[in-house]
Chain A
Amino acid sequence: MLKQTKKFVSTFLTLGLLSTTVLAACGSGNSDKGAASSSPAASGAASAAPADLKPVDLTWYFAGNPQADVASVEAEMNKILKEKLNVTLHLKAIDWGNFDQKMQLVNASGEEYDLAFTSSWANNYFVNVSKGAFVPLDDLLPQYAPNIMSTIPEVGWEAVKVNGKIYSVPNYQIWAMTNGLAIQKEIADKYGFDPSTVKKYEDLEPLLEAVKTNHPELVPYENDKSGKFGNSTVHYGFETISGGVGVIRIADESLQVVNMYETDEYKSLLKLMRDWYQKGYFRKDAATLADTSGDRKAGKPVVVNEGNVKPGGEAEMAVALGGREVVNVKLSEPYLLTTSIIATLTGISKTSKNPERALMFLDLLYSDKELFNLLAHGIEGKHYTKLDEHTVEPITEGGYNPNSDWEFGNQFNSFYRKGQQPGTWEETIKINETAKASPLLGFSFDPTPVKTEIAQVSTVTTQYVPLLETGSVDPEQGLAEMLKKLKAAGADKIVAEQQKQIDAWKQANGK
């Protein structure tokens, strides 16, 4: 009896809080009002004197090259945090290559920690949620995170929902996905090639041809073993579904899942790649090439297929190409996809003793520029010098330059790095707000029923994709062979499962 009452009360409370979430999130469309309306609940938490808060330690696992002088940054941050939240923060950076494995162990062993970086590509968010590694945040957010609630647009919360619940806070950075190219400006100019004429990959040919004949030392088009179809899906009008194989057409309201390797678009790309390979537009060893950073530093690739062109991207690519100026060409409209939003998230661990304090800290990080920039750039004079009010330059050998602002909450709090144009953040926010949202936004695929098939399929694709997408083998024969093997590996079963889950999701959400 008592138990039932308890259950009833807690359900009631949860529902109440949930509706607050929805209301607060609705408000954030016109962000000023949103901030105001969500603040009554919040101001209590935010203005609470640190004296009321008992001292706690927070541990944050994130990926990145461990920095030599992290201790002094931690100390500086803790000065602020101690005063405002009575929190002592411990930063634990795990290098990229080991992050997955280490986090699996940390979670499996039930180690106590509070915050962790999670995403679609490192420390997989959905896997973590299905294993119950993160705390659902629906109840906590409106109460403890007013700033986050007013910053993150509604689509962000849609994207991170798993079975209707929010398990992580999206980091606010570029969310929209715009497929496109980066072209070396000097060379394009030299041959009178106007990048703005490029609407599809075939339009590049005059430039590639000219580079091939006149610059044997350069690589006309960058290609490597990962293939470039993954960077072109939006251009072809696809949205990929996690788990592989299946895609939907963004324009297709009925959300029909198709096997992307069977589409005409895929075949036409392979034919083009074959043609380009035979004309020598790639490196001969593209099918086995994993690391293109060396080539880029030497300024060899003239055209680079970037997965996402974004404001400020030209400057970033120019740095990667050893200072050569590039022009970006957009090959698609900006789209908000689940995958592009969940590329950077922060989760709060189930093992955390103080999830609400962890969230309060995160909330402060979203609003406090000083705190954010300490974490993102280090200490002024020691780790970076200020070039002007908004721009900084890291000090070489300063011992702290993680260079991954997007990992820490709200990137738009960041100083610009030398070479970034002021205004980039505003422009990015605008794109995020105006980009068209995918019809599949908020759907997350649960791979468990087809785990075996996914593993088998990925064996096939790792074998064929590098060969096919670099044009190293004849697509007529190679693609047929791959499709046959994909069938045997159970690709159809994956597609069917994806369709089943999407249909169920559609019905549940009334789409």
Chain B
Amino acid sequence: MNTRQSVWSRRVIILWFTVFSIFCIVPFVYVISISLSEETDIAMYGYSLIPKSFTLNAYEYLLQSPKQLITGYTVSILVTAIGTLLSLLLTAKLSYALSRRDFRGSNKMSFYVFFTMLFSGGLVPWYILIKKYLMIDDSYLALILPYVIMPWHVLLMKGFLSDIPLALVESAKIDGAGEWKIFYRIILPLSKPALATVGLFIAFVYWNDWWLAMLFIDNQNLIPLQYMLYRIMNNIQFLSTSMQSANISIDVTQMPNETARMAIAIMAAGPILFVFPFFQKYFIKGLTVGAVKG
């Protein structure tokens, strides 16, 4: 009886996740298919899951003037790599300090971090701070610095680090290790799953970001990939909705057509797809971070 029930429940679970996966995968397949279709086919017959006539035109079009694409990739990869490393290190340090029960200010500081999650100075003061006082607009720093410490990541990390027994730290102290050594030699290796998980989150934040670039970057050589993509989509949308009956004409034919847009989307999503399996090993363990453990 037990077995029969579990067979049924398993079937339901499998079915549920199959359907769910299909919902996730189909749009993506569409994007791939469109990027490999002839533009005229799309105009004539609409979208289809399998391209009516297979062509690499869109990709050729993109690679014809690859300069922008290469710049985009370089900026995105640099920002993601440096940003993730820096952010992960600082997040780990901060949350380690907060997680130490023998640190007196821990609660107050945790609240201070938490507080920024709920309230912020607002967009304009932030913009003024970065542009007028820090004067880091139009530089890599503007793309990296604002996301270095994100309270959500700190709290997530703290949840994990709190589970490391204080006794471990004490015994290391007795063996003569200093605070730095304890952190680098004992705490960090022990928290690999958390580092991987939070690291992945951080990498996503940096990779997917176009907001900072929109606000602070004017130099065309510092435009990340996502912003490039966002800009194309956004421009087309804006022009097709706001230009109505305005007394002007903007030549939209200059903009990339639909297949090219999809090809750019594929190119932009690509690298992060390869990063994911690399982290997966730690990811499952990391997901239980902060959960009650038996």
CA distance in complex: A297, B236 (Å): 14
Residues of A within 8 A of B248 (CB): 173, 343-344, 404, 406
Give the contact stretch, choosing among B1-9, B12-20, B124-132, B178-186: B124-132
Q: How far is the CB of A251 from chain B (nearest CB, A)?
A: 20
Q: How many residues in A have their beta carbons less than 8 Å from beta carbons of B? A: 55
Decide yes or no: A404 and B240 within 8 Å by CB, A68-B220, A295-B43, A297-B39 being known contacts: no
Q: How far is the CB of A167 from chain B (nearest CB, A)?
A: 19
Contact call A293/B250, Cβ cutoff below 8 A? no
- For A64-86 the 0/1 string (1 means CB < 8 A from B) is 01101010000000000000000
Residues of A within 8 A of B252 (CB): 293, 320
Q: How far is the CB of B52 from chain A (nearest CB, A)?
A: 14
User: Cβ of A231 < 8 Å from any Cβ of B?
Assistant: yes
CA distance in complex: A109, B127 (Å): 7
CA distance in complex: A105, B218 (Å): 14
Residues of A within 8 A of B127 (CB): 105, 108-109
A296-343 contacts to B, CB under 8 A, are 297-298, 300, 307-308, 313, 316, 319-320, 339-341, 343
User: Cβ of A253 < 8 Å from any Cβ of B?
Assistant: no
Contact call A119/B246, Cβ cutoff below 8 A? yes
CA distance in complex: A17, B44 (Å): 61
Residue of B nearest to A227 (CB): B244
Give the contact stretch, choosing among B168-176, B253-261, B274-282, B286-294: B253-261
Contact call B234/A98, Cβ cutoff below 8 A? yes
CA distance in complex: A119, B248 (Å): 11
Contact call B124/A105, Cβ cutoff below 8 A? yes
CA distance in complex: A217, B233 (Å): 27
Q: Is the interface of B mostly helix, strand, loop or mixed?
A: helix
User: Cβ of A485 < 8 Å from any Cβ of B?
Assistant: no
Q: How far is the CB of B66 from chain A (nearest CB, A)?
A: 11
Contact call A297/B253, Cβ cutoff below 8 A? yes
Q: How many residues in B have their beta carbons less than 8 Å from beta carbons of A? A: 45
CA distance in complex: A313, B249 (Å): 9
Contact call B40/A97, Cβ cutoff below 8 A? no
Contact call B132/A177, Cβ cutoff below 8 A? no
Decide yes or no: A95 and B231 within 8 Å by CB, A109-B124, A109-B132, A297-B253 being known contacts: yes
CA distance in complex: A307, B65 (Å): 35
Contact call A98/B231, Cβ cutoff below 8 A? yes
Contact call A97/B237, Cβ cutoff below 8 A? yes
User: Cβ of A267 < 8 Å from any Cβ of B?
Assistant: no
Residue of A nearest to B42 (CB): A294
User: Cβ of B102 < 8 Å from any Cβ of A?
Assistant: no
- For A218-250 the 0/1 string (1 means CB < 8 A from B) is 000000101000110100000000000000000
- For B16-40 the 0/1 string (1 means CB < 8 A from A) is 0000000000000000000000011
Contact call B241/A290, Cβ cutoff below 8 A? yes
Task: Report which of B44, B132, B238, B254 forms a contact with A298, defined as CB distance below 8 A.
Answer: B44
User: Cβ of A96 < 8 Å from any Cβ of B?
Assistant: yes
Decide yes or no: A102 and B215 within 8 Å by CB, A68-B220, A294-B42, A294-B257 being known contacts: yes
Q: How far is the CB of A412 from chain B (nearest CB, A)?
A: 14
Q: How far is the CB of B236 from chain A (nearest CB, A)?
A: 6
CA distance in complex: A133, B241 (Å): 26
Contact call A340/B254, Cβ cutoff below 8 A? no
Contact call A121/B253, Cβ cutoff below 8 A? no
CA distance in complex: A70, B39 (Å): 31
User: Cβ of A292 < 8 Å from any Cβ of B?
Assistant: yes
Q: How far is the CB of A418 from chain B (nearest CB, A)?
A: 12
CA distance in complex: A183, B68 (Å): 38
Contact call B253/A319, Cβ cutoff below 8 A? yes
A140-182 contacts to B, CB under 8 A, are 173-175, 177
Residues of B within 8 A of A233 (CB): 245
B48-65 contacts to A, CB under 8 A, are 65
Decide yes or no: A111 and B131 within 8 Å by CB, A174-B247, A297-B253, A343-B246 being known contacts: yes
Residues of A within 8 A of B231 (CB): 95, 97-98
- For A95-136 the 0/1 string (1 means CB < 8 A from B) is 111100110010011110000000111100000000000000
Residues of B within 8 A of A185 (CB): none
Contact call B39/A298, Cβ cutoff below 8 A? yes
User: Cβ of A202 < 8 Å from any Cβ of B?
Assistant: no
Contact call A307/B251, Cβ cutoff below 8 A? no
CA distance in complex: A286, B241 (Å): 14
Contact call B124/A403, Cβ cutoff below 8 A? no
Decide yes or no: A96 and B239 within 8 Å by CB, A297-B253, A300-B43, A319-B253 being known contacts: yes
Residue of B nearest to A341 (CB): B247
CA distance in complex: A65, B245 (Å): 21
Contact call A316/B215, Cβ cutoff below 8 A? no
CA distance in complex: A401, B253 (Å): 13
Residue of B nearest to A171 (CB): B248
User: Cβ of B214 < 8 Å from any Cβ of A?
Assistant: yes
Q: How far is the CB of A239 from chain B (nearest CB, A)?
A: 12
CA distance in complex: A319, B250 (Å): 11
Task: Report which of A95, A173, A231 forms a contact with B234, defined as CB distance below 8 A.
Answer: A95
Contact call A403/B42, Cβ cutoff below 8 A? no
Residue of B nearest to A217 (CB): B44
CA distance in complex: A194, B214 (Å): 49
Contact call B237/A290, Cβ cutoff below 8 A? yes
Residues of A within 8 A of B214 (CB): 98, 101-102
CA distance in complex: A138, B33 (Å): 58
CA distance in complex: A319, B254 (Å): 10
Q: How far is the CB of A216 from chain B (nearest CB, A)?
A: 10
Residues of B within 8 A of A68 (CB): 67-68, 220
- What are 12 A-B interface contacts by the 8 Å CB criterion? A66-B218, A68-B68, A97-B234, A97-B238, A109-B131, A230-B244, A231-B244, A290-B240, A295-B43, A320-B251, A341-B247, A397-B65
Residues of chain B at the chain A interface (Cβ within 8 Å): 39-40, 42-44, 65, 67-68, 123-124, 127-128, 131-132, 214-215, 218, 220, 230-231, 233-255, 257-258
- Other A-B pairs, 15, CB within 8 Å; known A121-B246, A290-B240, A297-B253: A66-B220, A97-B231, A121-B243, A122-B242, A173-B247, A233-B245, A293-B255, A294-B257, A294-B258, A297-B39, A298-B39, A343-B247, A344-B247, A404-B248, A406-B248
